[in-house]
Structure 1
Amino acid sequence: MTQPLVGIVLGSDSDLPLGRQAEKVLAEFGVASELTIASAHRTPERASRYAREARARGIKVIIAVAGLAAHLPGVLAAHTTLPVIGVPVAVGTLGGVDALLSMAQMPSGIPVATVGIGAAKNAALLALACLATADENMGQRLEEYRERLAADVDAKDRKLKEEGVNLQGGTMV
């Protein structure tokens, strides 16, 4: 089995669909990852132990998926100097805004990179960008990925023009 480079930590099993999204993106780039559940509130020792031991096990980046109070990314970041990327989950009365703010408003000195609510794919891409700082091949693959994104937009624009669609209303000339 390939050595996991990215750890994906879920605050709860209900976060698994987002964890799987991140895992899929990483796998598409040939990067092995591992999934685990560790709650900042229910299993704080497990969460802190995971963060403390991650580097020694070869993990380079941690993605933490959590909702509500969403303290998991901060707890992990407090126990490691590895990059920690928080993915807020859209749950509860505030639809994930509380989780987003919890992750984004970390105290000075303990940073957590935070992506949008439910943006596990972007978290995986950010983890890949972190890995690319020490892996030129990964950087090249990310550049090619972005070129494909741009080509997709260009193709969609051409299709709109061929169909005579004007996004401001009316007909294309």
Structure 2
Amino acid sequence: MKFVSIIMGSKSDFDVMKSCSDTLEEFGVQYELIISSAHRSPERTKEYIATAEAKGAQVFIAAAGMAAHLAGVLASKTIRPIIGVPMKGGAMDGMDAMLSTVQMPSGMPVATVALGKAGAVNAAYLAMQILALENEELRMKLMEDRISKAKKVEMDSLEIETIL
């Protein structure tokens, strides 16, 4: 079974990351979702990565705020793609999390998406695009979604546009 693994550094991240799991569900993509901290539960995190890989995790999504080392810890323990979702909060309102997630050393890549809900949704889409490399059905669903989004823009414009 191939699936996406979503790991959050704390329960406070769930309200935002629910958008990620909801997006995966809309496309029928299986996922696991857990809370595990790079700092407060490093052994749990390490053990989970190995277990998830053995069960079929293809992509890991890591959501964390402040020092946000969760994505980096995952990158150090697997060669599967890691997508980091920096979370808002703390004294720097997420800027520290964004910098911690995006500034990975050479050879330890973490794809970093936007802060907050947009990042959570985009993490799901990026994970699905990775899975779609070997899943034609998912690739078609993603293509249909793009077409639908383009049509919505046109319809929204028709309601208000003025063209000379």
* Global fold match (TM > 0.5): yes
Aligned to 1:100: 98
Aligned to 1:148: 148
Identify which range, 103-112 or 45-54, moves more after superposition: 45-54
| Aligned sequence identity (%) | 46
Aligned to 2:34: 36
* Structure 2 spans left out of the alignment, 5+ residues: none
Deviation at 1:95, TM superposition (A): 1.3
* Structure 1 spans left out of the alignment, 5+ residues: 165-171
Deviation at 1:53, TM superposition (A): 2.5
Richer in helix (by share): 2
Contact 1:7–1:62 (CA<8 Å) still a contact in 2?
A: yes
Contact 1:19–1:35 (CA<8 Å) still a contact in 2?
A: no
Q: Secondary structure at the match of 1:60?
A: strand
Deviation at 1:58, TM superposition (A): 1.1
Which structure has the higher relative contact order (CA within 8 Å, separation 6+)? 2
Aligned to 1:5: 3
Q: How does 1:78-157 map to 2 (within 5 A)?
A: 78-118=76-116, 119-157=119-157
Root-mean-square deviation over aligned CA pairs:
1.2
Q: Distance between the aligned counterparts of 1:32 and 1:111, measured in 2?
A: 24
Residues 43-65 of structure 1: per-residue CA shift (max 9 Å, x gap): 01111222222211111111111
Superposition misfits of 4+ residues, deviation over 4 angstroms: none
TM-score, normalization: structure 2?
A: 0.94
Deviation at 1:4, TM superposition (A): 6.3
Contact 1:4–1:34 (CA<8 Å) still a contact in 2?
A: no
- Paired positions, count: 162
